Structure 1
Amino acid sequence: MIDKLEFFIVLAREQHFGRAAEECGVTQPTLSAAIQQLESQLGVSLVVRGSRFHGLTPEGQRVLEWARRIVGDTRTMREEMRATRRGLAGHIRLAAIPTALAMVRKLTEPFQKRHPNVTFSVLSRTSLQVLSLLENLEIDAGITYLDNEPLGRVTTVPLNSERYHLITAAGTPLSDRDVVTWRDVSGLRLCLLTADMQNRRIINKHMQEAGVEVSPTLESNSMIVLFSHIRTGQWASIMPRNVAESFGFSEQIRMIPISEPDASHLVGLVATHREPHTPLVSALLHEARMLVKAEAFDRNYLLSDDFPILT
């Protein structure tokens, strides 16, 4: 039955028999027959019948919840048994919001040193897509905002707090300021992430709180595109300082804190809430918690009286 439940999860996600069959690597008649067999075994209709996919029945929606749970638990069991035989090995699928991509290496680098037989794939996705991929078992974990929009039932590990800065070339308007306000920034020629990104919704919200609206002249879902336009001196952007620093900007680029309000938003690792987690996800969550503890220790050490201040 597990393979039929997996087919059903893919069908619910794709909402199209042909695409679902292609995703599962089977013919459409094979997929349709598997869904009909599953309906026969459960004694309920799962799919609204018609010439095309018209959605799930109420019973189908409930079965989908069980299917995700059962398939997830089955994968956890298989992975745990494999780990007992061969040690921690396998592949971890991650998805991260664009502003968090730079921090992924802080997890993957030490993790692979500890577990060299584990590989990673990393996708750039919106916050909503991260949660959808997680719910549909298409990724093992994600990195997204934790405190701005509902997450659902997930396990979280806070990693860092985004603080927003104006990123602009030297010699451009406002580049000589030590601090700017959201109202100040609204008058610049801006390039920002697209409206489907939570980062952009956060920026829009703070602009509205300042009594202004943001009207970017360029939008992209790629941070690289934004950075390349900032370098021209014709555009400025708003982004977390740690993201800008990850691109190794030269002195010709200014990073100026934005105040009124001095906004910060929590970003962290998320995984499906289940006990137990797969060995791979458990190890990743442990790595994330170790990272947080190490960075907290470093911050406390830097602020302590015992830390030598070099002049």
Structure 2
Amino acid sequence: MTLRARSDVLIRQLEYLVALSREQHFGRAAAVCHVSQPALSAAIRKLENELDVTIVLRGRRFEGFTDEGRRIVGWAHRILAERDALLADLDRMRNGLRATVRIGAIPTAVPATPLMTSLFTTRYPMARVRIESFSSREISRRLAEFELDAGLTYLDHDTPPGTRSLELYRERYLLLVPADNPLAGEPVVDWAAAATVPQCALMSTMRNRRILDATMAAAGATLAPVVETDTVGALYAHIATQRLASIVAHTWLHAFGVPEGMSVRPLAEVRPRPAVGLIIPDREPTSIIVEALVDALRGARLSEALERALPPVVVDSPDRRGGAAGNGQPELRAKPGTP
């Protein structure tokens, strides 16, 4: 067998292994790889023989990986990611950037993604973008396993180690409330007062909700929503049809606006405002598609664009003091404590 043929076999074995890790089922992994289940199983057994180690725990069905197997799966992710980065780099040199950048975004930041994709695709018109909504923890996991190129998430103590970050904007919180509610006439609404209105909110497993709960607790109140959901779309559907109040991030107005029959009012400022930005793996060499994304967003004035979508009652609120971060040139920085 030639060296090239041998390397092709190895890559195919690694692809099967990564698919099995993702699907946790031999049949589904084989279907994803467009091969028969016996062919996939035989290829993985061949890899085990060549490495002289047991990778997969087998019973009547897939039962997981051995300790050595988990280590090999990690290397498989890395090798395949480096292969893809190399091919994308060579393709860019020949034809311009045509790769797809895979971005995982927390649900609360998804409404701001059109501003990012517009900047990126304008600079690299042949490139493509894939955006998926995940929790901040899932974004961290998928970055580590090379399933994502970048994450859009909160930049705080939960930001994963081994990453670099680019702050894009800071979140403000507003109250959407029925126009006939007395709070709709207040120039600024206190958090404790907002807690008295029947609300729809994101679930407590989500980082945004934990921020709201902590802010409510600091105000001596508790957020007890009538309806909880894990998507911004479902939340807005309840606001628009059930006339439930909700505490929303200002970025959501950019995408959804203010539903008919509802009024938006500023909430007392949370300081410091939670920072939202891009996180990428802190490793060398950096993927060409990641470099392109960072270059497109570095210096972007997303905060200003988001502020322009706000109604005057919010922009001119008496409680608004200080500018949002991100109005200047954002800098890519490493997570504290990482090389």
Aligned length: 300
| Equivalent runs, 1:154-233 vs 2, <5 Å | 154-232=163-241
TM-fit CA distance, 1:250: 6.7
Contact persistence 2:243–2:262 (CA under 8 A): no
Contact persistence 1:13–1:136 (CA under 8 A): no
TM-fit CA distance, 1:292: 4.9
Q: Does 1:61 align with 2:70?
A: yes
Distance 2:103 2:303 in 1: 22
Contact persistence 2:109–2:251 (CA under 8 A): no
Q: Does 1:19 align with 2:15?
A: no
Which residue of structure 1 lines up, in the alignment, with residue 307 of structure 2?
none
Structure 2 unaligned regions, length at least 5 = 1-9, 305-323, 329-339
Contact persistence 1:167–1:244 (CA under 8 A): no
Which residue of structure 1 lines up, in the alignment, with residue 155 of structure 2?
146
Which residue of structure 1 lines up, in the alignment, with residue 12 of structure 2?
3
Q: TM-score, normalised by structure 1?
A: 0.85
Distance 2:270 2:325 in 1: 28
- Residue type at the aligned position of 1:73: E
- Residue type at the aligned position of 1:259: A
Q: TM-score, normalised by structure 2?
A: 0.79
Which residue of structure 2 lines up, in the alignment, with residue 121 of structure 1?
130
TM-fit CA distance, 1:147: 0.9
- The root-mean-square deviation of aligned C-alpha atoms, in Å, is 2.7
SS in 1 for 2:185: coil
TM-fit CA distance, 1:271: 2.3
TM-fit CA distance, 1:235: 0.6
Contact persistence 1:174–1:180 (CA under 8 A): yes
Contact persistence 1:9–1:136 (CA under 8 A): no
Distance 2:160 2:231 in 1: 23
Contact persistence 2:229–2:235 (CA under 8 A): yes
TM-fit CA distance, 1:38: 1.8
TM-fit CA distance, 1:283: 0.4
Distance 1:43 1:298 in 2: 52
Q: Deviations over 1:81-123 (max 9, x none)?
A: 1111112112222221222122212221122222111122222
TM-fit CA distance, 1:297: 11
47, 62, 71: which is aligned to 1:38?
Answer: 47
Distance 2:193 2:246 in 1: 13
Which residue of structure 2 lines up, in the alignment, with residue 284 of structure 1?
293
Q: Which runs of 4+ in 1 moved over 6 A?
A: none
Q: Deviations over 1:46-98 (max 9, x none)?
A: 22232222222111222222222222211111111111111211222222122
TM-fit CA distance, 1:291: 1.1
TM-fit CA distance, 1:179: 2.3
TM-fit CA distance, 1:267: 1.0
Q: Does 1:107 align with 2:127?
A: no
SS in 1 for 2:161: coil
Q: Percent same amino acid at aligned positions?
A: 37
Contact persistence 2:301–2:327 (CA under 8 A): no
Which residue of structure 1 lines up, in the alignment, with residue 140 of structure 2?
131
TM-fit CA distance, 1:261: 4.8
